[in-house]
Amino acid sequence: MDLSLSSSLSKPCHTLSLSFSSISSSFSHKTNSLQLLPSSSNLGSKCRIFLINPLLSRQKDHKIRAAQSSNQTDDDGFVLEDVPHLTNFLPNLQSYPNPLQKSQAYAIVKQTFVSPEDVVAQKIVVQKDSPRGVHFRRAGPQEKVYFKSDDVRACIVTCGGLCPGINTVIRELVCSLNSMYDVDDILGIEGGYRGFYSKNTLNLTPKVVNDIHKRGGTFLRTSRGGHDTNKIVDNIQDRGINQVYIIGGDGTQKGAALIYKEVERRGLQVAVAGIPKTIDNDIAVIDKSFGFDTAVEEAQRAINAAHVEVESVENGVGIVKLMGRYSGFIAMYATLASRDVDCCLIPESPFYLEGQGGLFEFIEHRLKENGHVVIVLAEGAGQEYIDAALHTVGEKDASGNRLLLDNGLWLSQKVKDHFTKVQKMPINMKYIDPTYMIRAIPSNASDNIYCTLLAHSAVHGAMAGYTGFTVGPVNSRHAYIPISHVTEAQNTVKLTDRMWARLLASTNQPSFLSYDPVIREKSDREILEVINDTKNSSI
C-alpha cells in the first residue's frame, strides 16, 4: 500500500513525495540516513523522492536528516527522532511473525500492522516553504516481533507520586500482554525502584488485576528515589526478565533511560519501555499526560465549593490551591472550565501583592463589584516570596523535586492581614486544598481510554524490539519517543500563547506585568524571557 505526501513549494514543480512500498526494494539495511533518489520520469525533472530506512535509521543520536544531492543545495528539513532497537546491539537477533496475525479480534481490521515507515509529525501547523521538522516513529503492532510469547518474562513498576489512571495502565499492560501476545509470565515490582532489589514482587494475571482500574492509587505501591542502576539490572538479569515497563514522571523516566543504557552495555535482550506519568501535565512533547483530565474535572468540585461558600457570606474570599509545582496547567484549565474563578495564579506568571495593579487592589475591586472573589492558586506560584520572607534554602525530596512551602496558607494570611489591618475591611476567608483528593481518585472515562491506548502502544513497541522509549500521543497520534526527548525539558504554560490569553480574557484579571517598566517596552516574543529573569531575581 503506497503512502504519499506532496506539497507545492514556491519554486516550480518542487514536489516532495514520500513513497514507501513502491520503492521498498531500494532500502539498504546498511544505510543510516534518508536517501535522495533520482526523480521518477513521471514526476518531472524537478521533483524529488525521499526514502526513510525503516530499521537502520537508528543512529546513536536518534536523528536523521535528509541527504542532499550534489546538484541541490536545499533540504526539506525532515528529522526523525528515532528510538533504539534491540538489533542495534544484538544484530543477529531473530524475529518472529506477530501472533496478532492469528487474532480473531484483529481479523476484521483493515490494516492490522503499522508500517515501519510510518511517522508522526511533532509540528502539525506549517507553512508551505517551512522545514518539515521533527517526526517520531508511529506506535502500534508491527508485523515482526523479537520475542517468542513463551519466552517473555515481563515486569511492571510504578514510581513517584500518585495520579489517577495508574491502575488502569497496570491492568491494560497485563491484559494486552496476555490477550494479544499470549504472555503469561508477568511480575509486579512492588514499592517503586527499590522493589527490584528488595525482592518485593507478585505474579500478575488478568484475574488478579481485573477490577483494579476502579480504585485510586497504585496496586503495586510506589516510592520516590531508590534508583540503583546496577542493582536493578542485576535483578532483571538474575530473574530472567526481558521486558520492563516503567510508569513514572520525569525522574522515573531518567532512571528508565539509565536502565536501558546498562542493559545495552551488558548486551541483554531486554526491552525497556517507559510510560510517562505526571498529574501536572509537564511532560514535554506529548499532547497531555494521563490523569490530567480527571484532575481538572475533580478540581471543579473544589472550585465550586469555594464559590458556594464565598457567595453565601459578606466579602467572601475563597482560595483554592491546586497542583502545579512548576507548571500551571491544572490551575489554568480548571479556571477556564469553571467560569467561577476571578483570578488564577500559576508558577510561570509572577504576581505582586501591593500597589497599583497588584493582587490586593484586584481583590478589593471584585469585592466591591460582586461581594465575593475566588482565587485559584497553583502550588508553585509565589514560592519566591515565601523563600525571601523566610530565608529558606531549597530542599529536595527523594525524587529530586524541590520541597515547596504551603503558599495557600501564606497567601490566605497575607490577604487577611491586608484587609483587616490596612484596609480595615472585614472579609470571610475560605481556604480549600484538595490536593490529595484529586491525586487519589480513580480515572474518569476519558483517561481510562487514554491509559488503555498507552499500555497497548508500550506492549506493541516492546514486542517489536524497541527499547529505551516512552509512549504518548503527538498531535493525537500515538508515537514512540526517545526517553531523553521527554526528560530534557519540562512542559510549561507559555504566557505568549493564546490559551493564557483566553484565561486572562475569561477572568479579566490583571496580567501583573505593568509594575515593571522594562516589560512595557518589550515585544511579545521577549516577554517570557523577561518574566523568567524577573522570577529568578530576588524579591
- Residues annotated as catalytic are 280
How far is 170 from 188, CA to CA, in rounded Å?
A: 9
Residue count of the chain, please give it: 539
Pairing of strands 343-345, 316-322: unpaired
Q: Please identify which residue in the block is written with the cell numbers 508558577.
A: 347
Contact 402, 393 (CB under 8 A): no
Strands 271-276 and 243-248: parallel
> Residue positions in the annotated binding site for Mg(2+)?
250
Q: Which residue has the cell 505526501?
A: 5
Rounded CA-CA distance 382/384 in Å is 5
From CA 470, how far away is CA 482, in angstroms rounded? Answer: 6
Question: Which residues are within 8 A (CB) of 341 and not within 5 positions of it... i.e. 6 or more apart?
Answer: 303, 334, 335, 374, 375, 376, 507
* Binding-site residue ranges: 161, 224-225, 249-252, 278-280, 323-325, 379, 436-439
Residue reference for cell 540503583 = 228
Q: Which residues contact 265 (CB under 8 A, 6 or more apart)?
A: none
Q: What is the rounded distance in angstroms from the CA atom of residue 148 to the CA atom of residue 142?
A: 14
**CA 208 to mean position of chain CA atoms:** 28
**Following CA atoms 175, 180, 181, 186 in sequence, which dihedral angle do they give, to the nearest 10 degrees?**
0
Please state, in angstroms and rounded to a whole number, the distance separating the CA atoms of residues 529 and 308. 39
Q: Which residues are annotated as part of the binding site for substrate?
A: 278-280, 323-325, 379, 436-439
**Residues 340 and 296 sit within 8 Å (Cβ to Cβ):** no
User: DSSP of 233-276, one letter per residue?
Assistant: HHHHHHHT--EEEEEE-HHHHHHHHHHHHHHHHHT---EEEEEE
Alpha-carbon torsion, ordered 311, 312, 318, 322, to 10 deg: -90
